[in-house]
Amino acid sequence: MSRFELYSPEGLRLDGRRWNELRRFECSINTHAHASDGSSYLEQGNNKIVTLVKGPQEPILRSQLDATKASLNITVNITKFSKMERSKSSHKNERRVLEMQTALVRTFEKNVMLHLYPRTLIDIEIHVLQQDGGILGSLINSITLALIDSGIAMYDYVSAISIGLYDTTPLLDVNTLEENAMSTVTLGVIGKSEKLSLLSVEDKIPLDRLESVLAIGIAGAHRVRELMDNELRKHAAHRVAKSSAK
């Protein structure tokens, strides 16, 4: 039994949002210009994520070399202090983390034009500083931003969001408390289309409810794309202004 009402009859969620509202979404790119070829910092609610992209570069191991396209390597580092309670293990080889890495590689393999960079390695390193639910979605958003910063060719934005299903009401952009209490779906959406690059379902969702969940999810992902796009354009304008001033 949860201590609070997850979704009150008055239509408010635990943290005061309504069913279709996103959490606070703030992002910036080129945050670690010296340490990487592309970087981003993302805060989605209390998810705080740093992403570094290195490459395309020559692979260290010969096994990573592919003559026809670039190899994509994604490492997720979930810090020990990212949750409320400090964890003892470093989460490094946890199944959940490995699964997440595989899901991320599969998502981005199809959206990055890897064939343009044969015989190279694109190495993406993610540090989760704090997490508060819907982490997979936030990871995808942060990778999209960092890849764009690095200038690696992509077909379009991939924006992602998690949706929970409370009884019959879909709840957009779930936080930890909500995520623990209900079944959730994470969607990755390509650009302004309704094409999904990722659909991950935790626990069971009744088929007859999936449509409404997807509808609000896609709308939410488009909104995320818009927020990222605004930030990128602002950043670009700023850079252009700086370089023309020189």
Partner 1 sequence: MSVSAVSGGRKRLSEGLTVTQKVFVRSRNGGATKIVREHYLRNDIPCLSRSCSICPTIVVPDAKNELPKFVLSESPQDLKNIGKHYTVLDTNIVLQAIDLLENPNCFFDVIVPQIVLDEVRNKSYPVYTRLRNLCRDSDGKKRFIVFHNEFSEATFVERLKDESINDRNDRAIRKTCEWYLDHLAKSEIKIILVSNDRLNRISASDEKFITKSLYEYVELLPNSDEVKESMPNLDSSQYNKDAESINEFSYPEFYPTSRIMGGLKNGSLFQGNIQISEYNFLEGSVNIPSFSRPVLVVGQKNLNRAFNGDQVIVELLPESQWKAPSTVALDAEHYDVNDNPENDNEVDANLIADSQRRLLAENAITAQKSNKVQPTARVVAIPRRSWRQYVGQIAPNSVDTQTGGTQNVFVILMDKCLPKIRIRTRRATELLSKRIVVSIDSWPSNHKFPLGHFVRNLGGVEEAQAETEALLLEHDVEYRPFSKKVLECLPEEGHDWKAPVDLKSQDAIAKDPLLQKRVDLRDKLICSIDPPGCVDIDDALHAKKLPNGHFEVGVHIADVTHFVKAGTPLDAEGASRGTSVYLVDKRIDMLPMLLGTDLCSLKPYVDRFAFSVIWELDENADIVKVDFSKSVIRSREAFSYEQAQLRIDDKNQTDELTLGMRALLDLSIKLKQKRLDAGALNLASPEVKVHMDSETSDPGEVEIKKLLATNSLVEEFMLLANISVARKIYDSFPQTAMLRRHAAPPSTNFEILNEMLQKRKGLSISLESSKALADSLDRCVDKKDPYFNTLVRIMSTRCMMAAQYFYSGAYSYSDFRHYGLAVDIYTHFTSPIRRYCDVVAHRQLAGAIGYEPLDLSHRDKNKMEMICKNINRRHRNAQFAGRASIEYYVGQVMRNNESVETGYVIKVLNNGIVVIVPKFGVEGLIRLENLTKDTSSANFDEVDFKLTFTQIDTGKQREIHVFDKVEVQLKSVLDPVTSKRKAELLLK
Residues 56-85 that bind partner 1 (CB under 8 A): 84-85
Asked if 17 touches partner 1 (CB under 8 A), the answer is yes
Alpha-carbon gap, residue 238 to 232, rounded angstroms: 10
Distance, CA of 70 to chain centre: 22
211 forms part of the interface with partner 1 (CB under 8 A): no
Q: How far is the CB of 53 from partner 1 (least distance, A)?
A: 28
Q: Which of 37, 123, 132, 179 binds partner 1 (CB under 8 A)?
A: 132
246 binds partner 1 per the rule CB under 8 A: no
Long-range contacts of 178-182 (CB under 8 A, 24+ apart): 178/6, 178/13, 178/14, 178/133, 179/133, 179/134, 181/2, 181/6, 182/6
Q: Does 46 bind partner 1 (CB under 8 A)?
A: yes
> Per-residue x/- mask for partner 1, residues 147 to 186, rule CB under 8 A?
------------------x-xxxx----x-x-----x---
E strands, the chain, are: 25-29, 38-44, 47-57, 71-78, 121-130, 158-166, 169-172, 183-190, 196-202
Binding site for partner 1 (CB under 8 A): 1, 3-5, 8-12, 15-21, 23-24, 45-46, 84-85, 132, 165, 167-170, 175, 177, 183, 204, 206-209
